[in-house]
Amino acid sequence: MCLLVLLSCFSLAAASAQVQPDGRASFRRSNDPTGRCLYTFTVPSPEESSCSGGGGRSEVDSVLARVTLLEALVSRLLAGTDARADVKEGLQETHSQVTAERNQLQQDKERLTRQLVEMQMRVAELSQEAETLRDRPCQERTGSGARQDSRDRPASDTGYDVSNGSYQEMKAEVTEVPASQLLPDSNKTGCGELLSVGDPVTHRKAEAISGKYGVWLQDPEPQGSYYTNKSVWRIDAVGKEVRQLSVYEDMDQFAQGFPMKVLLLPDAVESTGAAVYRGSLYYQRKRSRTLIRYDLASESLASRRELPHAGFHGQHPYSWGGYTDIDLAVDEQGLWAIYSTSKAKGAIVISKLDPENLEVKKSWETRIRKSSVANAFMVCGRLYTLASYAAANTTINYVFDTATGEGRPVHIPFKNKYRYNSMVDYNHDQRKLFAWDNFHMVTYDVSLGRPGQDSS
């Protein structure tokens, strides 16, 4: 309707601008769309009775253009009204959501406040009960006194007759014991040969690519009281400069991923051959044959020494690679280094190390090539090698006894649950193998005994 009125107005304006019917010149004064004043003169042609170009069409076109412009303006106005309505509706919905969340938070706050008050009352009651028990002395009864009481009791009173089962208090105590301790061949009191390895138990999975492979351990012989044999040590070994050592209070905190401290080592770590023993971390410095002893209590460098003639940085690694040229290990007999030299032509060399100054005390050369096995560890002075790091079902295939200087093949089943086992170390305090298998930190129970003994 508004558009029709505007069109009518423009048509009238166009009609008023025509030449006077009597043929006289006319003058017209009006404002243009910008507000400027325009003077228009109209003079009839003395020769032409009509215009051949359709002069009235330009006025109509002008009117139509203005009408189109008005239509566009009206459309924009209507669209703006709808948009404001949508915005208003959205704001109302958001306000409703915020109000509901605020009410829910208020309810949660009130509920937590009630629980806090109840807990405070309970704590006060327990404290009062504890004070009462503390103020009440215990009555000590000697053996002779007990016998005297027994003599004073009447013989006819069966309530004091210990032979009367109806009046006896029965107690039961349940102690959780690992199944391996019930086996006759577990030999928990001393050393023996490795007879079997249990199924892997997963404790944690690494969070980032830096944990593709690494080291995680517990100290079998801790020193001092700050760190114990329950403390868990972890190094994620993927990276250019691996220097962070995380420590967890116990296995529960480790499983939840809550370290109690993160230490920065003085030198970067090379691969997964580190060991924790008697309050120190032992590891190989990156791109060198230098061994480092780092004191965990003082968080300082305790000693460093080169391992003579040892290959490093890919010269004699395990079959999976990873610059595993030098592998440090701990067992019941102390600290060991598993490596190779150019003189040994890639065969595994075992050296017993002094845990204080890292000096080599004695060495043995085996007949098995280091690059042909996936990993190795020490148990009771014996070297054991793992055949494959990727096969789901593989074997521990070789043992070398440092007491006799002789080695032989063995066949002990071993499972790589996650198919990329980059670290295997023995903990003689727990009689377990610690392993890092494709982001996963796992343990294996082991059974030790005499050769030929049934391990089932």
**Residues 206 and 439: beta-carbon distance below 8 Å:** yes
What's the pLDDT band for 91 if we cut at 50, 70, 90? confident
Tokens at 147, concatenated: 């016998």
**Residues 227 and 259: beta-carbon distance below 8 Å:** no
What pLDDT was estimated at residue 428?
Answer: 97
Q: Beta strand pairing status for 375-379 and 360-369?
A: unpaired
**Residue 455: pLDDT above 60?**
no
**pLDDT by residue (tens digit) across 6-35?**
444 444 444 444 444 555 667 677 777 777
What pLDDT was estimated at residue 88?
Answer: 73
Answer positive or negative: Cα dihedral of 344, 345, 348, 352. positive
What pLDDT was estimated at residue 47?
Answer: 67
**Residue 159: pLDDT above 80?**
no
What pLDDT was estimated at residue 452?
Answer: 63
Q: Beta strand pairing status for 375-379 and 382-386?
A: antiparallel
Average pLDDT of the chain to the nearest whole number: 82
Share of the chain above pLDDT 90, in %: 56
**pLDDT by residue (tens digit) across 364-404?**
999 999 999 999 999 999 999 999 999 999 999 999 999 99
What's the pLDDT band for 451 if we cut at 50, 70, 90? confident
* Spatial distance between the Cα atoms of 321 and 394, rounded to a whole number of angstroms: 18
